[in-house]
Amino acid sequence: MSKIHSGFFDIQAAPIFPVILCGGSGTRLWPVSRKATPKQFGKLIGRESLFQSAARRVSGGAFEAPVVVTGDPFRFTIVEQLADIETAAGAILIEPEGRNTAPAVLAAALWIRAQSPSALMLVMPADHQIPDSRAFQLAVRAAAPRALAGDLITFGILPTHAETGYGYLELAPGARTTADQPQPLNRFVEKPDAARAAEMVASGQYLWNAGIFLFSVDAIIAAFARHAPEMRTAVAASVAAAKPDLSFVRLDPKAWQDVASISIDYAIMEKAENLSVMPFAAGWSDLGVWASVMQESAADANGNVCSANTTALGCTNSLLKAEGAGLHLVGIGLEGMMAVATPDAILVAPLSESQRVGEAVAELRRKGIKQADISARDQRPWGWFESLAVGSSFQVKHIVVRPGQALSLQSHNHRAEHWIVVAGTAKVTIGDQISEVGANQSVYVPLGAIHRLENLGDVPVEMIEVQTGAYLGEDDIVRYEDRYART
């Protein structure tokens, strides 16, 4: 039986299912964040990725295991990163194609209602920074009674400055931006220019729109039926025809073709009448640009934020970040600058131009430059690899296979491979021959030979692969067996 005590949520009232939206490419944090390796999986601040921090933020207590909505390329990264923090998802829903936040939220709501008809769902992006998890959990609990009563609740952040990169929430007359309970919401406001942002913050009647929501599954599904009935029909068909794939749930692609691409704000929240806003003032950032990353990081005495593998000489109020083994970044005499280096790309610009990094990525795409979207390190379900050297008829790779993982049983039509194991012990299959290959040992895989490498140990297997042949593309793979169900 439901219980609500003194206006504060009791954990017996209804289960809360966190829904972590894990799509997007985060191009404004290029070159660290790219389409193939978006920012939510990177360690921009601290020792955990933003996705891991989001999952940890809503673990235990009144929260059920999270439901993650994502795309096919990231499914194994999600499983791996959750395992690294010793947790697991209640479900990982795979969208056939990204369609913005509205369809993702609805698909999660329909899936959750089938498991728990009386549930609340807490929708949040995977890539936000909220340092005080306890304060956030208390805010969710404070908002839950209104959500149980049928309100659609959005979380609003108390502004610390006149920000032009966020949307705003205008509170109804008499509502308080510092209240510890949900407040009546007047309207959503698009990202303003600097003058308008300053006016809104000075008025004391506006909060930043965090893109975090709490509502019952019944309330949000009813809102879709009223305000977006065509989407309600198409997404419901896709969820009903969803199929399991290993530990994932694949939404039906045929029905998904009829789903419009639109945000939850535009599709529902700006049209609904049963709205409330839960103020939150304990610290938040969407880490959307490098200036935000700098603001949320610890600076030195000169106002610089410097990662490992960097040296700052005579620099002030600057960001220096280097990612990649064997890479060292040096800044001299920089003032208010950002310098971000990865093994295959470097970004240098004033911090005041952070919002324009997305423009640079668009220009790189226009020029057909692969670094716009593809990282030097290529993630795979079994681990990762990166190319060390490439020529007209050869390629050298550094390959890492995680414990308990294996490459597919495969062959190549255009290349042969030499494997040199430098750490760990690999079980190697070549044709009918099976052998163990340890550190400082090597094997040769002839062109056309059916082969596989497995890591049966408890430490990663690292090896150097030398490919030789007329064609070295990643599509030259014929798979005969694959534990990750890749085709």
CB-count exposure of residue 432 (10 Å: 0-12, 13-18, 19+): exposed
CB-count exposure of residue 459 (10 Å: 0-12, 13-18, 19+): exposed
Phi, psi of 20 (to 5 degrees): -100, 115
List the chain pLDDT tens, one digit each, 487 residues: 334 343 444 545 689 999 999 987 778 999 999 988 899 998 888 889 999 999 999 988 789 999 999 999 899 999 999 999 999 999 999 999 999 999 999 999 999 999 999 999 999 999 999 999 999 999 999 999 999 999 999 999 999 999 888 899 999 999 999 999 999 999 999 999 999 999 999 999 999 999 999 999 999 999 999 999 999 999 999 999 999 998 999 999 999 999 999 999 999 999 999 999 999 999 999 888 999 999 999 999 999 999 999 999 999 999 999 998 889 999 999 999 999 999 999 999 999 999 899 999 999 999 999 999 988 888 899 999 999 999 999 999 999 999 999 999 999 999 999 999 999 999 999 999 999 999 999 999 999 999 999 999 999 999 999 999 999 998 999 999 999 988 6
Q: Which residues, other chains included, contact 432 with Cβ-Cβ below 8 Å and sequence gap of 6+? A: none
- What is the reported pLDDT for 376? 87
- DSSP for 404-451, please give it: T-BPPEEE-SSEEEEEEEEES-EEEEETTEEEEE-TTEEEEE-TT--E
Put residue 459 in one of left, alpha, beta given phi > 0 → left and psi -120 to 50 → alpha: beta
Measure the CA–CA gap between 199 and 162, rounded to whole angstroms.
8
- DSSP for 214-275, please give it: EEEHHHHHHHHHHH-HHHHHHHHHHHHT-EEETTEEEPPHHHHTT-----HIIIIITT-SSE
Q: Which residues, other chains included, contact 76 with Cβ-Cβ below 8 Å and sequence gap of 6+? A: 379, 380, 381, 484
- Residue 405's nearest CA partner among 387, 384, 431 is 384
Which tens digit of pLDDT belongs to each residue from 123-144?
A: 999 999 999 999 999 999 999 9
DSSP state of 63: B
- What is the reported pLDDT for 2? 36
CATH number belonging to domain 4-280: 3.90.550.10
Domain ranges of the chain: 4-280, 290-366, 377-481
Measure the CA–CA gap between 456 and 415, rounded to whole angstroms.
26
- What is the reported pLDDT for 452? 97
Which tens digit of pLDDT belongs to each residue from 441-472?
A: 999 999 999 999 999 999 999 999 999 999 99
What's the pTM value of the predicted model, to 2 decimals? 0.88
Q: Which residue has the tokens 């709490």?
A: 214
Cα dist from 367 to 371, 372, 390, whole Å = 11, 9, 21
Measure the CA–CA gap between 452 and 429, rounded to whole angstroms.
5
Measure the CA–CA gap between 414 and 367, rounded to whole angstroms.
29
- What is the reported pLDDT for 6? 37
User: Which tokens hold the place of 52?
Assistant: 């891991």
Measure the CA–CA gap between 342 and 437, rounded to whole angstroms.
32
Measure the CA–CA gap between 385 and 400, rounded to whole angstroms.
6
Homologous superfamily of domain range 377-481: Jelly Rolls (2.60.120.10)
Rg of the Cα trace of the chain?
25
CB-count exposure of residue 299 (10 Å: 0-12, 13-18, 19+): middle
> Which strands, in side-by-side order, build the sheet including 433-437?
433-437, 426-430, 451-454, 409-411, 478-481
